[in-house]
Amino acid sequence: MTIRHKVGTIAGSMAVLLAAFPAMANSAANAKTLSFNQASSAYVETFIGRVPYRYGGSSPGSGFDCSGLTQYVYRQYGKSIPRTADAQFRYFRRESRSRAWSGDLVFFHDDSNPNSYVYHVAVYEGGGNMVSAVGTGAGIRWQTIWSSDVTFGTITH
């Protein structure tokens, strides 16, 4: 038996296994997605109480506004997203609250219409909580989601 034949046999066996058990194929993708979400969720927490709010801000050295924070965090893990809260909302795929993961984004709308203008964005932490660039004097904070006019978005799952 040649090496080429052995490799072909192994690859064929893997293809049969993955066809028979599709959940195995999905578990590798889910592990990578979970690691991105977990990493971005943990990373944004490092800015709590340490970085100021700055309108238009997009770096830890000068401060963040809400969408600058989310864009910066995602960029650290290789995800390029738009700059403003509303543009981020339009870029992300909507996810139900029950299916949202820590590291996804939570979008705050002008009104109860889920397609209305988004004026604020934060990193969802699970359990109705988020990390947000709050405003001048408050900086980056852990908060409870304070509005019912929100939607959740993902680019990872």
The stretches of the chain forming alpha helices (DSSP H) are 3-20, 22-45, 66-76, 85-91
pLDDT at 71 over 70: yes
Residue 145 lies in a domain: yes
> What per-residue confidence (pLDDT) applies to 32?
59
C-alpha closest to that of 123 among 94, 103, 143, 142: 103
pLDDT tens-digit profile of 40-51?
999 999 999 999
What is the average pLDDT across 119-133? 98
Residue 48 lies in a domain: yes
Q: How many CB atoms lie within 10 A of CB 54?
A: 16
As for how many domains the chain has, the answer is 1
CB 37 within 8 A of CB 101: yes
pTM: 0.80
- Which pLDDT band holds residue 30 (cuts at 50, 70, 90)? low
Residue 16 lies in a domain: no
CB 57 within 8 A of CB 63: yes
Q: How many CB atoms lie within 10 A of CB 155?
A: 17
CATH number assigned to the domain comprising residue 80: 3.90.1720.10
Residue 23 lies in a domain: no
Instruction: Report the C-alpha gap between 89 and 101 in whole angstroms.
Output: 16
pLDDT tens-digit profile of 17-26?
334 444 434 4
State the residue for tokens 């830890």. 60
Domain that holds residue 128: 39-154
Radius of gyration of the chain (CA): 20
Residue 20 lies in a domain: no
